[in-house]
Amino acid sequence: MEPAPAGQKEGSSRFRASEHQHARYNPLRDDWVLVSAHRVKRPWQGQLEKPPPEDVPRWDPKNPLCPGATRANGEVNPQYEGTFVFPNDFPALQPDAPEPDDSDHPLFRAAPARGVCKVMCFHPWSDLTLPLMSLAEIRTVIDAWAELATDLGASYPWVQIFENKGAMMGCSNPHPHCQVWASSFLPNEARLEDRTQREHLSQHGVPMLLEYAEQEARRKERLVVENADWLVVVPYWATWPYQTLLLPRRHVCRLQDLRESERDSLASIMKRLLIKYDNLFEVSFPYSMGWHGAPTGPHLEEDCRHWQLHAHYYPPLLRSATVRKFMVGYEMLAQAQRDLTPEQAAERLRSLPEVHYKEGDKEM
């Protein structure tokens, strides 16, 4: 019997990331995720989710996001034909809130929080989602995002663009739309990513996510889709089963800094990714996604070279259209944990067709 390799105990098996438990470091959040690949085969006897409805009406007068519908505040939507932006009728942030009183103890601190919240409809039809929209329609959405980021970012330090897709992610209206919240402060995730990216540039001389994109483009094992300007990966440190990270190849700090050609190619790669998501379980795939870029407002005059624009996609589905991952127990009290490895998830997504399953049915 041959002796075990140096650093490996006699009788122990060689480590395989696809079979053995291990922890992976997330440099963007400065934390760790436990990968328990051996648990993939465990039987599921837990909660089953209700699949999203497939019979959403194209127009519903009771849906407050539809053209011509009356919203909760009594306002009537215009007969819009493209994107439509309006103030959130129930905003989490308002521009004129009074400041809290000074704290009498360091354990009971409060700070001012002001801002604005907007809703943006992607399309007038309720039965469409981004993967079923045309490239020109998606490009219009991207341009509207950039315009909102510019307008709100002129005065607010942080502009968070995010989409909650599907009832599983808390979306209350079956209509293609997103939200945009601008705040007078940097939220927790923004402050964390600002620190980690700043430290990486200081220590290594290159923006973290620019270097990461170059590495993933070369390694390819976690690559899902790519084009000349963008790539999508299941990040090495992914927490959610089919989580992805959308990255530009060029150093870009903010969404509004994208070139015309990069906006076109962004529309293309978004459509390709989202078609793959829907095709995975042949369902309108739920997720929360959002853009992160360099802070704005007073930070526009600062050196933000450490930032690299990126979008996070966080989908909850695990094994099927009805089985989701829950972040509970150990994940709430200790650290994030996943079963399926990022490489396995990327391979599954990568192998899926880029023709939407609904469009494929029409062609047959």
Alpha-carbon distance of 176 to 163, in angstroms, equals 9
Q: What is the pLDDT of residue 43?
A: 58
Instruction: For CA atoms 7, 13, 16, 19, give the dihedral sign.
Output: negative
Mean pLDDT score, 48-60: 76
As given in the structure block, the two tokens for residue 295 are 């802070």
Output the pLDDT for position 4.
Answer: 44
The answer to whether position 19 is within a domain reads: no
Q: What is the C-alpha radius of gyration for the chain, rounded to an integer number of angstroms?
A: 22
pLDDT bin (cut points 50, 70, 90) of residue 364 is very low
Checking if the pLDDT of 356 tops 90, the result is yes
Asked if 288 and 281 touch (Cβ cutoff 8 Å), the reply is no
Query: If you average pLDDT over residues 262-280, what whole number do you get?
Result: 98
With 50 as the cut, is the pLDDT of residue 294 above it?
A: yes
Classify residue 315: in a domain, yes or no: yes
Residue 50 located in a structural domain: no
Name the residue among 159, 224, 158, 131 with its Cα closest to residue 213.
224
Alpha carbons 185 and 113: distance in angstroms, whole number: 7
Position 102 confidence tier, pLDDT thresholds 50, 70, 90: very high
Question: Which one of the listed residues 177, 200, 306, 356 is annotated catalytic?
Answer: 177
Q: At what angle do helices 208-219 and 188-204 cross, to 10 degrees?
A: 80
Residue 287 lies in a domain: yes
Please give the pLDDT value at position 180: 98
* Residue 15 pLDDT grade (very low, low, confident, very high; cuts 50, 70, 90): confident
Structure tokens, 2: 């041959």
Q: What is the pLDDT of residue 40?
A: 63
- Checking if the pLDDT of 50 tops 90, the result is no
Per-residue pLDDT tens digits for 201-232:
999 999 999 999 999 999 999 999 999 999 99
Can 177 be counted among the known catalytic residues? yes
CATH number for the domain spanning 229: value is 3.30.428.10
Say if 335 falls within a structural domain.
Answer: yes
Q: Residues 134-143: what's their mean pLDDT?
A: 98
CB 265 within 8 A of CB 230: yes
Q: Which residues are annotated as part of the binding site for Fe cation?
A: 193, 292, 310, 312
With a threshold of 0.85, does the pTM exceed it?
yes
Q: What does the pLDDT read at residue 334?
A: 96
Q: Hey, what are 98's tokens?
A: 């009074």
Beta bridge partners of 158: 183
Model pLDDT, residue 157: 98
The arithmetic mean of pLDDT across residues 98-118, rounded, is: 95
pLDDT of residue 9: 53
Using 50, 70 and 90 to split pLDDT, how confident is the model at 97?
confident
Look-up: residue for tokens 């648990």?
39
Binding site per annotation, positions: 39-42, 72, 88-89, 164, 170-172, 179, 193, 292, 310, 312, 325-326, 330-331, 337
CB–CB of 341/239 below 8 Å? Answer: no
Lowest-confidence region among 17-26, 153-162, 205-214: 17-26
**Percent above pLDDT 90 for the chain:** 79
Smallest CA-to-CA distance from 49 within 316, 335, 328, 358 is with 316
Q: How many domains does the chain have?
A: 1
Q: What percent of the chain clears pLDDT 70, i.e. is strictly above it?
A: 90
Is 10 within a domain?
no
* Binding-site entries for UDP-alpha-D-glucose: 39-42, 72, 88-89, 164, 170-172, 179, 325-326, 330-331, 337
Of the candidate ranges 35-44, 54-63, 330-339, the one whose mean pLDDT is the lowest: 35-44
| Residue 240: both structure tokens together | 């959610």
Print the domain residue range for 153: 27-35+55-98+110-361
| Cβ proximity of 138 and 270 under 8 Å | yes
